[in-house]
Amino acid sequence: MANRIDRKFSELSASGRKGLFPFLVAGQPDMKTTIQIIQRLEKVGIAGVELGFPFTDPVADGPVIQSAFTQAISDGITVATILNEIAKARSSIAIPIIAMVSASIVYKIGIDQFLSGSSQAGIDGFIIPDLSLEEAPIIADKAASKDLRLSMLISPNTPPARQERIAKTASGFLYYMSISGITGERDRLPDDLVKNVARIKEISRVPVLVGFGIKTAQQVRQVCTVADGAIVGSAIVRRIAQAKTEGKDSTGIVESVESYVVELMTGTTGVGIN
């Protein structure tokens, strides 16, 4: 069976569609609700989900995601908890699940053990934002041997030669950061976004997704005119935190996320193939 990430992008390409990949923090507000959100969002047509593994010292995450990480850690969320819950729910979830995880977590557990555990749980690929380019090929090869994918990050400041090295190493998809710095919602995306993504598409063997700063359906549409899809994180994480603060239960939180994602999904329709 083909990797779910590869299969999903093949489906999107064949049907002329672009994909929305929401980012969720595992354990926000709890793992049961995280799984329920994934299941509900699959029904409304998301292409996949990026699942953040809580970490005490996130690399590029802004205050909204950092706060969610802190909450999840204080509630006792661990890698084992996350993988166990995914494993139990995997038979009811068909879309790809991509883990956003710190290299420190991977190395502490052990590369082989972490990859094996993730594969058994039903994880399809990884984004390891603090993984050095020099170390990446080792993990990429080990992941490939288990039919897992290692997606890589490219920022607006990444030199062209380094972009090409990253593109050669990445599998699954390339993640283009629309802005340099940390995650967070932006009212306006950079003017050079389309030009930059077009260049990356020329050198990439895999699809290109764009994340960082995206919060509206219009911005999703802007991204999808050139990229293969959009990743939306902080805006979703903030809504979950807000719904919890308002006293909403799991059902209310899931419905709040669903209504917002349905709105974002309108930005992926009618864009066409690049």
| Candidates 11, 30, 57, 61; catalytic one | 61
Q: How many CB atoms lie within 10 A of CB 238?
A: 20
What DSSP line would sit under the chain, residue for residue?
A: ---HHHHHHHHHHHHT--EEEEEEETTSS-HHHHHHHHHHHHHTT---EEEEPP-SS-SS--HHHHHHHHHHHHTT--HHHHHHHHHHHGGG--S-EEEE--HHHHHHH-HHHHHHHHHHHT--EEE-TT--TTTHHHHHHHHHHTT-EEEEEE-TTS-HHHHHHHHHH--S-EEEESSSS-----SS--TTHHHHHHHHHHH-SS-EEEESS--SHHHHHHHHTTSSEEEE-HHHHHHHHHHHHTT--HHHHHHHHHHHHHHHHGGGTT----
Catalytic pick among 6, 50, 85, 124: 50
Length of the chain: 274
Active site residue 135: no
- Is 112 catalytic? The answer is no
**190 vs 8: CA distance, rounded Å:** 28
Residues carrying an active site annotation: 50, 61
